């Protein structure tokens, strides 16, 4: 009963904080963190211990899966190098540097324990940053980098943490650590891909929105648990399965199933992402008590400040490299753009013929269009120094930091791990301080830089251009409605008239009046309707593969087709 009451109170706090956040502009995660800290000092509220098993096994997989569903494949591909740099290199290197500096300044902390601390505090948690960024309209590429980095950096941090914990017990081996890291990445990729394919195949045959949603809800753990059992990265497995299943969903699920899955995951991710900040704040009294029992708070605060300063410096260096990557890519894009301005060269055509055979013209044309879209993205979505400032300032730590550090064992190598409580509190203080300091001032930094995403009118214009392009592709592939046949027979004129009026909705016309069909012509209408709807979806997939339009426009077009299908079928 007590647990149910606490859950009810917690959900109420989430709702109230969301309303307050919308009215004041304060990010809900930061507000919940402060409320949790205040609640931890109220005597009648029970102590909450956010165990690492609860976070790493219960909360982290669904949060990662929900985040992976929202990151488009094409954006990850275009930003693969900076995401890999931020989520792998800029997790491992700061972990080692923090470990060396902490061990040098606080010699009672062993080097493996100090590196474990560094691994725990290195990955950023972009929930608060993206919450603020969406509200204030950060440019799409900065949002993509933040979301992509936070998807994969947990894997690098947890694997590094695992190596440090192993070194506490049996010593460190560079070869074993390298092989372990390689297997964690490769194994996670393979298991995530296989599980994603299997569940997507199963979802496509369930033919029931509720069962499809249940299967999707089970997906995070179906990827995470097998990967962890074989010492691969469960985090990578979950992210890969989420991205893959989302990419395949338009071809395996119908509109009603996709709508239910989307709404369910939006609810689950919102509750979990915000609840962890409330629970995180409520742990402070327990952590302070544990740290005091093993030493004074003065050295704890000093260690936390040292770690935070090192992380700030390393974050600035890492983001500076990303800005350099963007400028270097812009230069290469301009050069390649001039080279491809007039199409493929004779040598390029020869290679295309050899590679694609009879379809070389269509395939090379698709490659050219995609390459030009990538070049345009590199030129128009580059990371400016102002963007780098925002990206660096958004480097807040979160709940994964606390969960990772709590995986530290009490005993290693037959001996108690000294200063375990101190290191855990230091990690907590670093996470909370970074959230309050950088999260609280991030809106001011964003406004000061003047960065902004495209406006509403610009978004709508892009969506209209995308739909127009899709309709032109369909008309080019299928021909006019009046010339369509079903089973070799001409389509009755009144059936064509009804579909034309339905299709007018997509082309931004207002005549949506429906005609009643006789029972004997309904099958003909739905056959024709399905033909055109499938062609529109194929046209959308073609536009997505090229990438000339933003993921916002592509997602809006997909949702529009889903609504179009559901509404048309409900009206009959």
HSE of 384 in the Cβ direction (CA atoms, 13 Å)?
10
Distance CA(113)–CA(423), nearest Å, equals: 8
pLDDT of residue 242: 92
* Nearest Cα residue to 276 out of 56, 22, 503, 90: 56
The enclosing H or E element of 486 equals strand 485-486
CB 218 within 8 Å of CB 195: no
3-class DSSP string for 489-530:
EECCHHHHHHHHHHHHHHCCCCCCCCCCCCHHHHHHHHHHHH
343-357, 386-400, 461-475: the lowest-pLDDT one: 343-357
Q: Does the pLDDT value for residue 282 go beyond 50? A: yes
Percentages helix, strand, coil for the chain (3-state, rounded to 5) are 80, 0, 20
Distance CA(27)–CA(417), nearest Å, equals: 38
Distance CA(522)–CA(571), nearest Å, equals: 12
Query: pLDDT averaged over the chain?
Result: 82
CB 114 within 8 Å of CB 103: yes
For 260-278, what is the mean pLDDT?
A: 86
Distance CA(405)–CA(304), nearest Å, equals: 14
CA distances, 460 to each of 221, 456, 466, 543 (Å) = 38, 6, 10, 17
94-108, 293-307, 346-360, 545-559: the lowest-pLDDT one: 346-360
3-class DSSP string for 410-427:
CEECCEECCCHHHHHHHH
Percentage of the chain exceeding pLDDT 90: 19
| CB burial string 103-128: b at 16+ within 10 A, e below | beebeebbbbbbbbbbbbbbbbbbbb
State the pLDDT confidence band at 396, using cuts at 50, 70 and 90.
Answer: confident
Q: Is the backbone of residue 295 left (phi > 0), alpha (psi -120 to 50) or beta? A: left
- SS3 state of residue 340: coil
pLDDT of residue 71: 79
CB 333 within 8 Å of CB 375: yes
Q: Does the pLDDT value for residue 531 go beyond 50? A: yes
CA distances, 524 to each of 261, 342, 550 (Å) = 31, 46, 36
Distance CA(432)–CA(445), nearest Å, equals: 19
HSE of 66 in the Cβ direction (CA atoms, 13 Å)?
20
For 346-362, what is the mean pLDDT?
A: 66
For 495-515, what is the mean pLDDT?
A: 62
* Nearest Cα residue to 436 out of 270, 272, 281: 281
pLDDT of residue 568: 67
For 184-200, what is the mean pLDDT?
A: 93
CB 79 within 8 Å of CB 148: yes
pLDDT of residue 306: 95
Distance CA(163)–CA(114), nearest Å, equals: 12
**Helix 420-449 vs helix 111-121: angle between axes, to the nearest 10 degrees?**
30
pLDDT of residue 201: 92
pLDDT of residue 223: 94
- SS3 state of residue 118: helix
CB 283 within 8 Å of CB 50: yes
For 27-40, what is the mean pLDDT?
A: 84
- SS3 state of residue 445: helix
DSSP string covering 349-377, please? HHHHHHHHGGGHHHHHHHHHHHHHHHHHH
Distance CA(56)–CA(403), nearest Å, equals: 7
CB 503 within 8 Å of CB 484: no
Residue 46 per-residue DSSP state = P
For 480-501, what is the mean pLDDT?
A: 75
Residue 45 per-residue DSSP state = S
Q: Does the pLDDT value for residue 285 go beyond 80? A: no
CA distances, 127 to each of 89, 133, 153, 235, 274 (Å) = 21, 10, 13, 16, 9
Q: Does the pLDDT value for residue 191 go beyond 60? A: yes
């Amino acid at each position: 009963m007590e647990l149910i009451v606490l859950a009810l109170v917690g959900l109420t706090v989430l709702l109230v904080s969301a309303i307050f956040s919308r009215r004041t502009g304060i990010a809900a995660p930061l507000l919940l963190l402060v409320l949790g800290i205040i609640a931890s000092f109220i005597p009648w509220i029970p102590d909450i211990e956010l165990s690492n098993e609860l976070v790493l096994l219960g909360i982290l997989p669904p949060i990662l899966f929900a985040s992976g569903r929202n990151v488009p494949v094409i954006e990850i591909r275009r930003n693969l190098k900076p995401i890999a740099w931020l989520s792998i290199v800029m997790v491992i290197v700061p972990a080692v540097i923090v470990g060396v500096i902490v061990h040098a300044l606080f010699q009672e902390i062993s080097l493996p324990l100090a590196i474990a601390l560094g691994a725990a505090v290195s990955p950023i948690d972009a929930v608060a940053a993206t919450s603020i960024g969406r509200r204030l309209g950060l440019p799409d590429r900065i949002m993509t980098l933040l979301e992509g980095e936070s998807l994969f950096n947990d894997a690098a941090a947890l694997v590094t943490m695992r190596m440090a914990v192993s070194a506490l017990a049996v010593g460190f081996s560079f070869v074993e650590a390298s092989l372990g890291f390689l297997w964690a990445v490769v194994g996670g990729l393979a298991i995530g891909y296989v599980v994603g394919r299997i569940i997507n195949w199963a979802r496509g045959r369930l033919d029931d929105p509720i069962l499809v949603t249940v299967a999707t809800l089970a997906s995070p753990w179906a990827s995470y648990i097998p990967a962890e059992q074989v010492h691969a990265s469960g985090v990578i497995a979950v992210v890969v399965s989420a991205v893959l299943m989302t990419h395949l969903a338009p071809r395996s699920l119908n509109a009603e199933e996709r709508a239910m899955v989307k709404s369910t995951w939006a609810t689950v991710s919102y509750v979990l992402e915000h609840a962890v900040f409330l629970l995180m704040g409520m742990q402070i009294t327990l952590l302070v008590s544990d740290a005091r029992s093993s030493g004074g708070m003065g050295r704890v605060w000093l260690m936390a400040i040292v770690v935070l300063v090192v992380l700030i410096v390393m974050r600035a260096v890492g983001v500076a490299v990303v800005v350099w990557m963007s400028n270097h890519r812009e230069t290469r894009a301009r050069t390649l753009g001039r080279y491809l301005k007039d199409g493929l060269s004779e040598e390029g055509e020869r290679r295309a013929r050899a590679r694609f055979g009879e379809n070389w013209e269509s395939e090379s044309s698709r490659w050219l269009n995609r390459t030009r879209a990538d070049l345009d993205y590199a030129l128009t979505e580059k990371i400016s120094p102002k963007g780098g400032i925002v990206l660096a300032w958004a480097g807040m730590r979160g709940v994964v930091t606390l969960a990772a550090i709590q995986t530290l064992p009490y005993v290693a190598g037959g001996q108690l791990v000294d200063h375990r409580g101190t290191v855990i509190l230091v990690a907590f203080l670093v996470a909370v301080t970074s959230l309050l300091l950088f999260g609280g001032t991030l809106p001011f930094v964003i406004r000061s830089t003047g960065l902004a995403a495209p406006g509403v009118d610009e978004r709508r214009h892009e969506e209209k251009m995308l739909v127009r392009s899709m309709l032109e592709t369909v008309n080019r592939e299928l021909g006019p409605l009046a010339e369509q046949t079903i089973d070799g027979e001409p389509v009755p004129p009144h059936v064509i008239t009804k579909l034309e009026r339905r299709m007018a909705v997509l082309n931004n016309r207002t005549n949506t009046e429906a005609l009643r069909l006789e029972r004997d012509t309904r099958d003909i209408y739905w056959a024709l309707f399905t033909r055109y709807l499938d062609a529109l979806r194929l046209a959308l997939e073609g536009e997505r593969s090229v990438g000339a339009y933003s993921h916002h426009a592509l997602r809006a077009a997909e949702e529009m087709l889903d609504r179009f299908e559901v509404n048309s079928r409900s009206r009959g």
